[in-house]
Structure 1
Amino acid sequence: MPPSPESFAAIPPGNPEAVRELFDRIAPQYDRLNDLLSLGLHRLWKRQAVAWLQPAPGQRLLDLCCGTGDLALLLAEKVRPAGLVLGLDAAAAPLEQARRRASRCPWLPLEFRQADAQATELSDAWADGAVMAYGLRNLADPAAGLQELRRLLRPGGRAAVLDFNRALNPQGLTAQFQRVYLRQLVVPLAKRAGLEAQYAYLEDSLARFPTGPQQERLAIEAGFSHARHQLLAGGQMGLLQLIA
């Protein structure tokens, strides 16, 4: 059996500097590992997030914690030619990857900026819609992230927040399967790429992450009129569907 995450150097979940350094380090291999570790299913889950968003030509959309830009590219196809997708991320290296990818599709209305998802400095009601994939769990304060997300949306605008799901019962089958998946598949595969410490942090980050019902409550408290947490992949993932 591979070692538990506790045997690796600790990466404090929610520590902004540590999270930035983590994603700067893994950026070159991030997309390949995502495909490998999810068997390509992360692309399906992201398309489910886009389906909830209902993007339309001419809209102005945000991709918060955009990483290497795969979701931003998908959204840009939907809003062209007169719309805009702005991708924001706190880490510089993933943004460089995103810009390189976008440069191969110069017809897409895409911009990328380095910014904190909890304090974007964009104006109120800037966006018609927004997505955040695997970013909320890494914020120092997920509640503050949801408040900023609400501030950025126009009234009636939609948002989709995709991430791992924290099971309600930590001893149930869903949680047990998740631990096995993280400890016996994710960490050993990441170790082969020299990134075991970077991926071992996942279990700790999930332990502090709000459950689905807690996310719904935080979203309503942030001012959203609608919040529904939909389980995906047999409860391993969750899609928080929001309306401002």
Structure 2
Amino acid sequence: MTETPDEALGGETQTTTHFGFRTVAEGDKAGMVHGVFTRVASRYDVMNDLMSGGVHRLWKDAMMDWLAPRPHQRLLDVAGGTGDIAFRFLRRAPDAQATVLDMTEQMLIQGRQRAEAEQMADRLTWVTGDAMALPFADSSFDVYTISFGIRNVTRIEAALQEAQRVLRPGGRIMVLEFSQIPNAALQWAYDRYSFNVIPVMGQIVANDRDSYQYLVESIRKFPDQETFAGMIRQAGFGQVRYRNLSMGIAALHSGWKI
């Protein structure tokens, strides 16, 4: 996020951010991200399987292993889309409740349909909302998760502060996100796959090359593991740790509200 002179406004500054590799006005990004996920909603789960060869399922299971859901907990899954994380959490935690929040109504519609099919509708709440301004009271949840969503937030720091606010003392945040491979040669090879294959796959499967081009670019703009861990600490969390998955293609970050 930067501020640049805007001569048309007499030297005033305009706050900007990135949308993939493009620089855009900060106020425009949320709408642009909303457009991306509205367009891909119906094919989102299929594309996740194709892009990762199904490995994203193993990453999400690893997230649950580290999280260790417990009975009666209240989960808030932000950018929860079609409910993948919430379903996994509820299967492992008897009598737990989950709230899935997403800015894109079309993603939540897909999730509600899955919940009804899997007979979990009575344990789930679906909310349209913004990660930077959560519509919940302070200290409302035991666990906060966000999976492959925080890199799309306009101001990541604001989202982390909101996570800290809505968690109860002793509550836990866990973030699953694409990250940076510490080996330069492997990162180069992964970049070639990402930029040359995934947008083409998006065109063929979802008839939308541009959205998947943005998603690939957004991964490269996201901070590395150590930098992001520092952002979580800066938001007030303690005992911040991370674990690389698949050599660092993705990473899990964990922290506690002390």
TM-score computed with the length of structure 1 as normaliser: 0.89
Identity of aligned residues (%): 32
Residues 189, 10 of structure 1: alpha-carbon distance in 2 compared, 3 angstrom cutoff = farther
- Superposition pairs of residues 124-143 of structure 1, within 5 angstroms: 124-143=138-157
- Give the drift of 1:214: 1.0
Residue aligning to 1:19 = 33
Q: Distance in 2 between matches of 1:149 and 1:48?
A: 21
Residue aligning to 2:199 = 187
Residues 30, 20 of structure 1: alpha-carbon distance in 2 compared, 3 angstrom cutoff = same
Q: Given the alignment, which residue of 195, 198, 215 partners 1:202?
A: 215
- Give the drift of 1:237: 0.8
Deviations 1:83-130 (A, max 9, x none): 210000000100000011111233451111101111112111111112
Structure 1 residue 241 corresponds to structure 2 residue 241: no
Residue aligning to 2:103 = 90
Which aligned runs of 4 or more in structure 1 are off by greater than 4 angstroms? 9-14
Is the 8 Å Cα contact of residues 48 and 54 (structure 2) preserved in structure 1? yes
Residues 13, 51 of structure 1: alpha-carbon distance in 2 compared, 3 angstrom cutoff = farther
Q: Distance in 2 between matches of 1:222 and 1:115?
A: 21
Is the 8 Å Cα contact of residues 243 and 252 (structure 2) preserved in structure 1? yes
> How many equivalent pairs are there?
234
Q: Distance in 1 between matches of 2:164 and 2:117?
A: 32
Equivalent position amino acid for 1:156 in 2:
G
TM-score computed with the length of structure 2 as normaliser: 0.84
Is the 8 Å Cα contact of residues 135 and 163 (structure 1) preserved in structure 2? yes
- Give the drift of 1:137: 0.3
Deviations 1:131-152 (A, max 9, x none): 1100110000111111111112
Structure 1 residue 177 corresponds to structure 2 residue 189: yes
Q: Given the alignment, which residue of 155, 169, 172 partners 1:155?
A: 169
- Give the drift of 1:167: 4.6
Which fold has the larger relative contact order, with Cα–Cα distance below 8 Å and residues 6 or more apart in sequence? 1
Deviations 1:191-239 (A, max 9, x none): 2121110000123312331211111111111000121122111111111
Q: Given the alignment, which residue of 122, 131, 144 partners 2:136?
A: 122
Q: Distance in 1 between matches of 2:123 and 2:93?
A: 8
- Superposition pairs of residues 57-136 of structure 1, within 5 angstroms: 57-81=71-95, 83-107=96-120, 109-136=123-150
Residues 161, 13 of structure 1: alpha-carbon distance in 2 compared, 3 angstrom cutoff = farther
Q: Which moved more, 1:178-187 or 1:114-123?
A: 178-187
CA-based RMSD? 2.2
Compare the two structures and name the one with the higher strand fraction: 2
Q: Distance in 2 between matches of 1:142 and 1:166?
A: 17
Residues 240, 13 of structure 1: alpha-carbon distance in 2 compared, 3 angstrom cutoff = farther
Is the 8 Å Cα contact of residues 53 and 159 (structure 1) preserved in structure 2? no
Q: Distance in 2 between matches of 1:16 and 1:105?
A: 31
- For the pair shown, the structure with the greater C-alpha radius of gyration is 2
Q: Distance in 2 between matches of 1:12 and 1:183?
A: 21
Q: Distance in 1 between matches of 2:217 and 2:246?
A: 21
Residues 13, 199 of structure 1: alpha-carbon distance in 2 compared, 3 angstrom cutoff = farther
Q: Distance in 2 between matches of 1:16 and 1:168?
A: 30
SS in 1 for 2:49: helix
